[in-house]
């Protein structure tokens, strides 16, 4: 709680775009004092201008979740300005797309550096004070890819499965201290993440077009294209679920966002792995060769 203003303070990583930006704006509109972190100076300036125009209690700050010093400086700055962090939203992320065999070890590490180690880094920076105060919420922006894995998304999905495991551990470890960890699991929502996925997949173009997995890539891109076309859920819808999770007196361990998340939740409970695998292979056109 911000001592001077009596409002709750939220720090959101990757808040300069997409789901993070929508959450930052909605939370500020609902009276939270929001610190919206990101790397891009240009996107930060745009968000600061928007917040000023709307007179929202929102300010941006620079933070690269892959950099120890940058994270520590940003977290210290929030403590200096607001005294506390009541809610941390671990949202920054990107998706590398390539088959397990094709993806370079460097890209595997990059994927985990942002989506997993970045989350650990920011959480470790924020936790000591939350734990001492015996109050706080950590919201983890996972994905349906933290539950099931489409082809060519092994690295992204593995990073989200790792986030799920991390959150499961935090729920137990922080139980004595009244700090709650909540997973948000969105399905496909149109944001810039898809364009960035295309950009970081550039080095794999040759393999995508004519390597041994060419048909797997083709199925995967057409599956993603069809998800993009059908997706009706907006970043603002996801922001509303985040707000609900922050406000719930007894929050659930995980909240799905999008109809796909609801379907998958029940499919995972009711169907054997073989049936889910068959559904995924059908969706992405994966067939035996020869």
Ligand X SMILES: NC(=O)c1ccc[n+]([C@@H]2O[C@H](COP(=O)([O-])OP(=O)(O)OC[C@H]3O[C@@H](n4cnc5c(N)ncnc54)[C@H](OP(=O)(O)O)[C@@H]3O)[C@@H](O)[C@H]2O)c1
**Catalytic residue selected from 96, 143, 145, 156:** 156
- Using CB under 6 A, which of 26, 28, 61, 64 touches ligand X? 64
What token pair was written down for 176?
A: 């004595």
- The DSSP code for 145 is G
123 binds ligand X (CB under 6 A): no
**Catalytic residue selected from 21, 96, 142, 204:** 142
Q: How many residues bind ligand X (CB under 6 A)?
A: 30
Identity of the residue, 45 or 100, whose beta carbon is nearer to ligand X in the bound complex: 45
* Span 1-30, contacts to ligand X by CB under 6 A: 13-14, 16-20
- As to burial, measured by CB atoms within 10 angstroms (0-12 exposed, 13-18 middle, 19+ buried), residue 211 is middle
Q: Bin 92: left if φ > 0, else alpha if -120 < ψ < 50, else beta.
A: beta
- Using CB under 6 A, which of 30, 40, 124, 205 touches ligand X? 40
Contact present, 103 and 135 (Cβ < 8 Å): no
- Would the CA dihedral through 193, 39, 26, 123 be positive or negative? positive
- Output the residue with the shortest Cβ distance to ligand X: 18
In sequence order, the 6+-apart residues with CB closer than 8 A to the CB of 265 are 147, 256
Q: How far apart are CA 253 and CA 1, in angstroms?
A: 23
Q: How far apart are CA 20 and CA 271, in angstroms?
A: 33
Contact segment (CB under 6 A) with ligand X among 25-33, 57-65, 123-131, 200-208 equals 57-65
Q: How far apart are CA 165 and CA 146, in angstroms?
A: 9
Contact present, 246 and 139 (Cβ < 8 Å): yes
Residue with tokens 């720090």: 11
Number of H-type helices and E-type strands within the chain: 12, 7
Q: How far apart are CA 159 and CA 142, in angstroms?
A: 9
- Using CB under 6 A, which of 32, 35, 112, 188 touches ligand X? 188
Q: Is 160 one of the annotated active-site residues of the chain? A: yes
141 binds ligand X (CB under 6 A): yes
In whole angstroms, the minimum distance from the beta carbon of 160 to ligand X comes to: 7
- Using CB under 6 A, which of 93, 154, 223, 256 touches ligand X? 93
Q: Is 142 one of the annotated active-site residues of the chain? A: yes
65 binds ligand X (CB under 6 A): yes
Identity of the residue, 19 or 170, whose beta carbon is nearer to ligand X in the bound complex: 19
Identity of the residue, 209 or 228, whose beta carbon is nearer to ligand X in the bound complex: 228
256 binds ligand X (CB under 6 A): no
In whole angstroms, the minimum distance from the beta carbon of 26 to ligand X comes to: 14
Provide the annotated active-site residues. Answer: 142, 156, 160
Q: Where along the sequence are the contacts to ligand X (CB under 6 A)?
A: 13-14, 16-20, 38-40, 43, 63-66, 91-94, 114, 118, 141, 143, 186, 188-189, 191-193, 196
């Amino acid at each position: 709680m911000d001592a001077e203003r009596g409002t709750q303070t939220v720090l959101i990583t990757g808040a300069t775009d997409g789901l993070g930006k929508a959450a930052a704006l909605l939370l500020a509109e609902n009276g939270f004092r929001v610190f919206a972190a990101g790397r891009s100076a240009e996107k930060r300036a745009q968000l600061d201008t928007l917040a000023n125009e709307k007179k929202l209690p929102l300010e941006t700050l620079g933070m690269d979740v892959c950099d120890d010093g940058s994270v520590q400086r940003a977290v210290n700055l929030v403590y200096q300005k607001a005294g506390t962090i009541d809610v941390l939203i671990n949202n920054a992320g990107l998706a590398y797309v390539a088959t397990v065999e094709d993806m370079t070890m460097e890209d595997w590490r990059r994927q985990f550096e942002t989506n997993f180690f970045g989350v650990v880094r920011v959480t470790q920076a924020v936790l000591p004070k939350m734990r001492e105060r015996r109050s706080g919420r950590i919201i983890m922006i996972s994905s349906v890819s933290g539950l099931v894995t489409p082809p060519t998304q092994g690295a992204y999905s593995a990073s989200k499965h790792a986030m799920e495991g991390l959150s499961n551990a935090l729920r137990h470890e922080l139980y004595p201290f009244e700090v709650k960890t909540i997973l948000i699991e969105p399905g496909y929502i149109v944001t810039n993440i898809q364009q960035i996925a295309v950009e970081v997949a550039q080095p794999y173009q040759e393999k995508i077009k004519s390597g041994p997995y060419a048909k797997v890539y083709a199925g995967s891109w057409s599956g993603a294209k069809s998800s993009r076309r059908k997706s009706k859920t907006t970043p603002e819808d996801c922001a509303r679920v985040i707000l609900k999770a922050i406000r719930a007196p007894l929050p659930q361990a995980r909240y799905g966002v999008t109809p796909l998340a609801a379907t998958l939740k029940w499919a995972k409970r009711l169907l054997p792995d073989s049936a889910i695998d068959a559904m995924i292979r059908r969706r992405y056109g994966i067939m035996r060769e020869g």
